[in-house]
Amino acid sequence: MRRATITGIGAYAPKQEIPNSYFNEILGEDVDAWLRENVNIHTRRWCAEDESVADLCENAAKEAIEDAELKAEDIDLVIISTDTPEYVSPSTASVIQDRLGLKNAGTFDLNTACAGFVTAMDVASKYISSDERYKNILVLGGYAMSKYLNKKDKKTVTLFADGAGAIIMSATEDANRGLLTSDLKTEGQYHGWMGIYGGATHMPISDEVVANGDHQLKFVHKFPKEINPLTWTAMAKDICERLGVQPNDIDHYFITQLNFNSINETMDNLGVHRSKAHMVMDKYGYTGSACIPMALHDAYKQGKLKKGQLIMFIGSGGGLAFAAAAVRY
């Protein structure tokens, strides 16, 4: 049986750094202390005015391809997870295919908000396991949410940031390696609680839409704070049961990097030491569909990833969409 294993890892964050103190000035109040204490965000990166999500993805993709020791012509498919695309149409993946000269690669974008990267991993794995023509797939999470922020809305502007993460998933005949199992869930009743609701067919761009700020990210309702840790815990336990392992047998957890308290609560629920959940929100802020591969890349660069380790990925985002996967590295 063919499986999809991770053979290359890359990431990229814009050069422009925005510390918490920036928001103290523009909002006229001290938000730095709250951000540090409640979500563990100290700083973040935002795109420059002439920088977009394709620029971020291009740099992350280059690193992942080089890390996998592949050439451009070796890539068979490009899947980009993003809800901040380069254009409404065509796909951001087609832009990356052109820029990097991936002449043999098909392309498509995937949008399940911040659960998208793990969803894209799952899709790539199924392509590889079901069709021998696909040997190397470039999977990206790209996020440029700073382009959609209301700079006066402290509920959103202080949290969201930009970045991209990439992996190469390659075919292997080793049944003990690669993506072993996965799970997707959605609580669609929350689809109207947070999002960018203007700019597509439901609410095309108009003077009224812009005046109301509907072309920007909005929290419409406050989500129940228990929904993420409860759902993450249940998904992790279910995957462990399927694999016949205990949560402590997982070597690393990479979970949506929005709130360290929710991640710690999940680790506590699982009876796992908190240090197994690698976090990067302190230096990158919340980078949505890019945050999980960026955390993976950070751990990789620190030498934490070892061949044969068991890794759990858990993502969640607007929709509400959830995705989890277990990978033997």
pLDDT at 107 over 90: yes
Q: Cα separation of 254 and 243, whole Å?
A: 18
pLDDT band at 224 (very low <50, low <70, confident <90, very high): confident
Residue 110 confidence (pLDDT) above 90: yes
Over residues 280-306, mean pLDDT: 97
Domains of the chain and CATH, by start: 3-174 (3.40.47.10), 179-328 (3.40.47.10)
Mean pLDDT of the region 199-217: 89
pLDDT band at 219 (very low <50, low <70, confident <90, very high): confident
Query: Contact at 8 Å (CB) between 73 and 104?
Result: yes
Assign residue 9 a region (left: φ > 0; alpha: ψ between -120 and 50; beta: otherwise): beta
What pLDDT score was predicted for residue 328? 97
Structure tokens at 278: 């690698």
DSSP E strands in the chain: the ranges are 3-12, 16-19, 43-46, 77-81, 106-110, 136-144, 162-172, 178-186, 194-195, 218-219, 252-255, 310-317, 321-328
Read off the DSSP letter of residue 272.
-
For tokens 């240090």, the residue is 275
- How far apart are the C-alpha atoms of 130 and 140, rounded to whole Å? 21
